[in-house]
Amino acid sequence: MKTKKALAVLLTLVLTLGLLPVFVAAEEQNITVIVSFEGYNLGHGFYVEPTEVTIPVGSTAMDATIGLLEELNLTFEFNDWGVLDRIFDMHPGETNVPEYITIPLAESAGDGSVGSFDYSTSSGWMFTLNHFLTPVGADSALLVSGDVIRWQFTVEGWGADLGLGFDRGGFAQLYEHADKTELIRGLFVEGAIAVDAALEVIINPTATAEEVAEAFAALELDFEDVDGEELAALIADGNTRVRETYVPADAEWDPPAWGLFAQALITATLVYENEVATPMAVEGAVLRLQMALADLIPVPVEAEEEWVNPFVDVSEDDWFYDYVRFVHSNGLMTGTAANTFSPDGMFTYGMAVTVMWRLAGAPEVAADTDTWYAVPLAWAIAEGIVAADVLVNSVMTVAGFAAMLDGEVASGLDRSAVITRAVAAYMLAQ
C-alpha cells in the first residue's frame, strides 16, 4: 500500500483534445470523485472520458452526474424514480455492435440522444460504484472521496452485457468484466504516464485482469508506503458482523444498508491487499467502510412460523412458490378459492386496490356496496390511487402496478405486459 500524495487537478484539459476534463464546485468541504459515460456496447467507446468531479460532502451519485453533465452543457433527463433516462447530443451516428451481443438491435431514437429502450426492451443507462451495481439508486448512493462512477449503456439483459458477474432478471452475464476502478483512479495521480493506453484498456469491456494490471503498471505511479492500520482495523470490525444478526437467513432480499456494507467491506479488503493502491483508494475505502458500518443497524431476527401451503396449484417446485408464500403469510393476497391461488390468473384493478388497502393497514372507509373490493376501492379513490371511473375487472400492467407500489419495475419484467397473480406476488416481494 502506498502513501498520500497531492493529486494534480488538471484544470486545462478538455474533451475535444481527448484529455481528462475536470468539473469543480465552489462549496467548502468538498470531495472528489470520478465519473464517466460509456457506450462500448454500441461500439461508441467513451462518450465522456473519466472526469474528476468535485462536489460537497454528502452528495450522491446523481449530484455528481448532474454536475458534470451541466458543466459539459449536455441536456439530460432523469425519470420520476431517479433513474438517468436519456442524454441528448451524444450519439455519434453509426453503431458497431460487439460480437458478444447476442440479440438483434432495433433502431436508435434518431435524435442524437442515448436513452432507455433504445435498441431493445432492456436497454438504458446503468451505473456502477467502484465496480458494483448498488442496491440503491443514484439519488441515494452517497459518495466519498475516490469513488468511481461509471455510467454504462446496456442493450441486452438489463446489464448482462456489462459483464459484472450478476444474474439480473434471469439474464446471465455475457462475459467477465475486469475491475478497472484502481486503473481509473491512477489516471489522476500526479506524474502518471501512458494515460492514453490506459484509457484504451478501460473502455475495452473484455480486457483481462492481466491487461488491466499491465496498464496500471505502465502508469509508473510513484508514492511511498503508508500505514494501513486504520483500514485493517475497520476490515476486522466488518468481518465480525454476522449477516443473521441483521436479516433473516432465508430473507428474499437484504436491506440496502446491508448490501452497501457488504460492498464496502469487499472493496476495502481489495484495497488493503493491493500493494500499489492509490492514496485516493485508501482514503475512500476507509471513509466508505466507516459510513457503511455506521448505517448498519441491527434488525432482530424473529422465529418465523412454518407456512402451511393451502393451495393445490402452488408447489415448492414452482418459480413463484416463495413469492406466494410471502404475500399469503403477510396477508397481502388470498386465494381465489379456499385451496386455489390461480397463479396464472390475471391480476385486476380490483385485486390491486385490495392489496394497496391491506398494505395501508386496511383503514375503515364507507362503501356503497358490499362487494369484496368495495371498501378498498372506495379508499383507493379517496386517496387518488385510481380514478373514480376505474374498471375493477380490467387487467393491470407491470408499469401500472409498479406505479402503485414504489414506481420501480422489478428486474426482468416488461413494463407494458399485463400481469398474472404470480407476477403480482413477485412484484410485492421485491
DSSP 383-416: TTSS-TT--TTSBPBHHHHHHHHTSPPPTT--TT
pLDDT along the chain (430 residues), means of 10: 30 32 52 96 96 95 96 91 89 90 89 92 93 88 94 93 72 90 94 96 96 95 79 91 69 76 91 87 92 80 73 91 90 90 91 91 84 89 88 88 78 80 88
The pLDDT tens digits of the residues spanning 131-190 come to: 988 888 899 899 999 999 999 999 998 899 999 876 555 678 899 999 999 999 999 999
Give me the pLDDT at residue 93, please.
83
DSSP code, position 54: E
Instruction: Please tell me whether the overall predicted TM-score, pTM, comes out greater than 0.75 for this model.
Output: no
Q: What is the pLDDT of residue 191?
A: 92
CATH code linked to domain 15-216: 2.170.130.30
d(CA 32, CA 370): 61
Neighbours of 133 (CB within 10 A): 18
Which residues have a Cβ under 8 Å from the Cβ of 190 and sit 6 or more positions away? 5, 6, 7, 8
Burial category of 26 from C-beta neighbours within 10 Å (exposed 0-12, middle 13-18, buried 19 and up): exposed
Please report, for the chain, the start and end positions of each structural domain, with discontinuous segments joined by +.
15-216, 321-428
User: Residues 123, 56: contact at Cβ < 8 Å?
Assistant: no
**Max Cα-Cα span within the chain:** 78
Residue 363 contacts residue 379 (beta carbons within 8 Å): yes
Cα Rg, the chain, nearest whole Å: 24
CA 406 – CA 397 distance, rounded (Å):
15
Work out whether the CA dihedral 212, 213, 219, 223 comes out positive or negative. Answer: positive
Instruction: Note whether 133 and 166 are within 8 A (CB).
Output: yes
CB neighbours (10 Å) of residue 312? Answer: 12
**Strand 84-87 versus strand 114-115 pairing type:** antiparallel
Judge whether 65 and 50 are in contact, CB under 8 Å. Answer: no
In this structure, are residues 261 and 295 in contact, taking their beta carbons and an 8 Å threshold?
A: yes
Q: Which residues of 197-218 are buried (b: 16+ CB within 10 A; e: fewer)?
A: ebbebbbbbebeeebbeebbeb
Distance CA 140, CA 137 (A): 5
